[in-house]
A and B are shown apart, each in its own frame.
Chain A
Amino acid sequence: MGNWMIVPVVLPLIVGALTVLAVRHDLILQRVFSAFTVVGLLAVSIALVFHAAHTGPEMYALGNWPTPFGIVLVLDRLSAMMVLLTSILAAIVWFYASREWDKRGKHFHALFQFQLMGINGAFLTGDFFNLFVFFEVLLIASYGLMLHGAGGERLKAGMQYIIVNLTGSSLFLIGVGLIYSVTGTLNMADLALKVPLVPDSDLALLKAGALILFLVFCIKAAMVPMHFWLPGTYANAPAPVAALFAIMTKVGAYSILRLYSLAFGGSAGDLSWLVAPYLLPAAIVTLVVGMVGVVAARYVTQMVAFAVVGSMGTLMISISLFTPASVAAGLYYMLHSTFAGAALFLIADLIISRRGQFGGSLHAAPEIRQSGLIAALFFMGAIAMASLPPLSGFLGKLQILSASQNSPHMIWIWAVILGTSFLNIIGFGRAGSVLFWKSSAIEGDIQTASDQTFPHQTIIAAGMMLAMLVALTVFAGPVTGYLHDTSAELFDTSGYIRAVMGADTPVAEVTTVAPFAQ
């Protein structure tokens, strides 16, 4: 069963290649091929989650080269869960895009497949040069998707997005090079064994390498001060693509969590919890910047993009505490914020496609078609994003608050999380009242070319995204149980290391707790 972990990487690769080679002129066949992948990924990733929950971490050696010389994929609870999250998101995005978005450019489905391959690979890899390669795969695909059905504004935003990420890739290589030069390994589990043994004279180099990598992951996760690329990119990306991109910031969060709990965590000696002191302030500022951006936004997509920045701040606050409880709470909030952000991008697209020349601007315009239904969807999405009860965001934030109770920075964390939630409510409340209430008072009719009929498929897709939030709330008990096991597994790194390096590897004891834990 463990060998099935290669499927989330190889299946989209094969289908993506086939899509380009065999069916590039036939949109219907492209959709069928794509559907085959998303259904297959969904089935495999559900199986992988159950497998990971029962057997613990497992390794797949590509080409059967012995570790640490070969490249490995590692499946544990965290990576299995992230792959499942990607698959669910991909299935809904496929459903939404297959109505009309995939007609606007040529290779939507092929790029979509390669994007899935890169994301799944980044979650599963156990080798950090390989992580670089999968980052590049997902970025190359995302450049294509971002520019899908191009236009002047989108090209400009895409240009900035690519420049930022290419610079990030250069930094990534420098970080990897520095770490390799000191430890002589690229395998994450092997690195975890080597880091405590690094002599004092090389510690500065290793620290520099680890912090440069941290910078790169922060660019991916859109943390202040490296968040500038996100609002422009996400606000200008096509809606289904922006919804899929909701997982991309989480790739950065995942990498930070993985590398800095495994290799630079409790057993790393002098470099224990290397990033915690930098991560917490950055996360707090990110949250504030994001939510102030929500209030200040002039376009609905821009507002959602800033809300995504803010939710990354909340997530990173809970990760930066590096306690099992806070990481479990953060992971729950991550599941929530991925679906909430994606749902809001889809709903924003439903609004914009009906507003004709008014676009996404937050000014009153004549009433849009299906106004009541879309207002209800928007209302639900806004509740989710602002983390009000009864949806899962409330549970997530409550867990984060309670997990930060014993932290010395508890006052800051509580004040910022609660205060910015209020800003979030104001921002979304204003947008909702302008888009739906004021608009209903304005005479006239908007002429739009598309969506004259009732678009079942797009509304159902947006509803499905919200339904995932409801499901997350209803099954909060089992999900939280799984996440607590996940974070316990993250903090007790011996299982991961033994799975990769062999069962009889001597593993260093976890000796220190994170600086903000107690």
Chain B
Amino acid sequence: MEFLVASSIGLLSACGVYMLLRGRTFPVVIGLSLLSYAVNVFLFAMGRLQVDMPPILSDTATGYTDPLPQALVLTAIVISFGMTAVIVVLALRTYLEIGNDHVDGLPGEPTDSGETK
């Protein structure tokens, strides 16, 4: 199980990083989501992998799994969902406003970064 979890985290992050380095907003958004899935699974694994163990202390249980990573993952999932929503909306708005979906704007077009209005 360790091998399976570790390699799936690795595969997810590799694909995420690759997509993140693309020049267009849609692959970048997908890349960020993949990366955040990888991070969430990774955080789960941080409490050591346990199967069928309760996360709550009780007298009858034979062993426990660490509940804290699950709380962390819950927070991280909520935040990454919110962030994905923000960046999707922003990508759409940017596309409508500047007419292309390149992260840098049109390649080769001079930028006017001094304009603050």
Contacts and interface: CB of A to CB of B under 8 A. Distances in A.
A151 B117 contact: yes
Contact of B98 (A152, A300, A302): A152
Given A163-B87, A239-B116, A359-B112, A170 B36 contact: yes
A379 interface: no
Interface pairs A-B: 3 shortest CB-CB? A299-B114, A360-B114, A181-B46
Contacts of A173: 39, 42-43, 72, 76
Contacts of A361: 112, 114
19 contacts: A143-B86, A147-B90, A151-B117, A154-B116, A155-B94, A156-B104, A158-B94, A163-B20, A170-B38, A170-B39, A174-B42, A177-B72, A231-B113, A236-B116, A239-B116, A301-B114, A302-B113, A359-B112, A360-B114
A376 interface: no
A14 to B, nearest CB: 21
Given A153-B112, A180-B69, A360-B115, A159 B35 contact: no
Contacts of A119: none
Interface of B: 20, 25, 28, 32, 35-36, 38-39, 42-43, 46-48, 68-69, 72, 75-76, 79-80, 82-83, 86-87, 90-91, 93-94, 97-98, 103-105, 111-117
A114 B117 CA distance: 24
B15 to A, nearest CB: 13
Contacts of B98: 152, 155-156
Given A152-B97, A163-B20, A166-B87, A236 B82 contact: no
A393 interface: no
B115 A359 contact: yes
Contact of A153 (B35, B46, B90, B113): B113
Contacts of A163: 20, 28, 32, 87, 103
Nearest to B29: A163
A238 B68 contact: no
A167 B113 contact: no
A180 B116 contact: no
Interface of A: 129, 133, 136, 140, 143, 147, 150-160, 162-163, 166-167, 169-170, 173-174, 176-178, 180-181, 186, 231-232, 235-239, 298-302, 349, 352, 359-361
Contacts of B47: 181
A452 B82 CA distance: 42
A361 B91 CA distance: 28
Contacts of A239: 116
A147 B90 CA distance: 9
Given A159-B91, A177-B42, A153 B111 contact: yes
B83 to A, nearest CB: 6
Nearest to B96: A155
B86 A162 contact: yes
Contact of B35 (A154, A170, A238, A300): A170
A359 B113 CA distance: 10
Contact of A150 (B42, B69, B97, B105): B97
Contact of B116 (A152, A298, A352): A352
Contacts of A299: 112-115
Contacts of A151: 97, 115, 117
B97 A169 contact: no
A296 to B, nearest CB: 13
Contacts of A158: 90, 94
A235 B87 contact: no
B113 to A, nearest CB: 5
Contacts of B68: 180, 186
A302 B114 CA distance: 6
Contact of A167 (B20, B72, B112): B20
Contacts of B75: 129, 133
A292 B66 CA distance: 50
A167 B32 contact: yes
Contacts of A150: 93, 97
A178 B94 CA distance: 36
Contacts of A302: 113-114
Given A143-B86, A163-B87, A301-B116, A169 B46 contact: no
B76 to A, nearest CB: 6
Contacts of B46: 177-178, 180-181
A155 B90 contact: yes
Nearest to B43: A177
B76 A140 contact: no
